[in-house]
Structure 1
């Protein structure tokens, strides 16, 4: 599986990049899912956020997966060992690679559980 690198990096610290992102976001007026997603990313760049766009089939290292999930690499290793996060080993190596879609799925599940716990706490406090 080939991993594609981004050939262009947008530096949100650069005022010209932020201004261009703001102008482009304002020109997107439709409500299609694609326009909404692109507008949201451009608005984030306009406000100084760094955005990374990855394909679902791309692979990341456990450290990169940890950054995406907002957890430690050791926690990602445990998710892999427990079978929660699917991975593959590089040939002849102990190094792991994890599909971005797997990381997104785990992140979505963690968010669903967090929302469920919040709803339970709110119901109990009423």
Structure 2
């Protein structure tokens, strides 16, 4: 099996992209996890959201990781330095690359911590 790098941006600014996304989403009727995920992605594009599709093993820059997480690049740098976000350095360089899956994992952990903090504040009535 050959693997191909997949990185595509579905930009809803293009009316043809929105129309195609709506048409394809309407054709998916199954309830499998794959169909549900693809339908949700296509519905988002059809309604004006910009969707980026990447493979989990692809690598991104700290700036791209920050955009994915909705934080600053400096925060991502701190996560890397603190060992909270695995990365690799490019050979002979100070530049970092971070796997997409590691970014997603870090974002999920961060959201879990935030939700826990919100629950504690709600329980305390703060």
Instruction: For residue 98 of structure 1, give the secondary structure of its aligned residue in structure 2.
Output: strand
- Indicate how the Cα distance of structure 1 residues 3 and 27 shifts in structure 2: closer, same or farther if over 3 A, else same: closer
Compute the displacement of 1:39 (Å): 0.5
Is 1:102 the equivalent of 2:102? yes
Instruction: For residue 98 of structure 2, give the secondary structure of its aligned residue in structure 1.
Output: strand
Is 1:24 the equivalent of 2:24? yes
Is 1:80 the equivalent of 2:80? yes
Q: Residues of 2 paired with 1:96 and 1:10: CA distance?
A: 26
- Indicate how the Cα distance of structure 1 residues 9 and 70 shifts in structure 2: closer, same or farther if over 3 A, else same: closer
Cα deviations by residue, 1:28-61 (Å, 9 ceiling, x for unpaired): 1111110111001101110111111111110000
**Alignment: residue pair count:** 124
Q: Residues of 1 paired with 2:4 and 2:69: CA distance?
A: 20
Which 4+ residue blocks in structure 1 deviate beyond 6 angstroms?
none
Q: Residues of 1 paired with 2:10 and 2:112: CA distance?
A: 32
Q: Residues of 2 paired with 1:17 and 1:5: CA distance?
A: 18
Instruction: For residue 52 of structure 2, give the secondary structure of its aligned residue in structure 1.
Output: coil
Is 1:63 the equivalent of 2:75? no
Cα deviations by residue, 1:49-93 (Å, 9 ceiling, x for unpaired): 111111111000000000001111111111000000000000000
Compute the displacement of 1:9 (Å): 4.7
Q: CA RMSD in A?
A: 1.9
Is 1:4 the equivalent of 2:11? no
**TM-score if structure 2 supplies the norm length?**
0.90
Q: Residues of 1 paired with 2:73 and 2:4: CA distance?
A: 21
Q: Residues of 2 paired with 1:122 and 1:50: CA distance?
A: 33
The answer on whether the counterparts of 1:3 and 1:59 sit within 8 Å (CA) in structure 2 is no
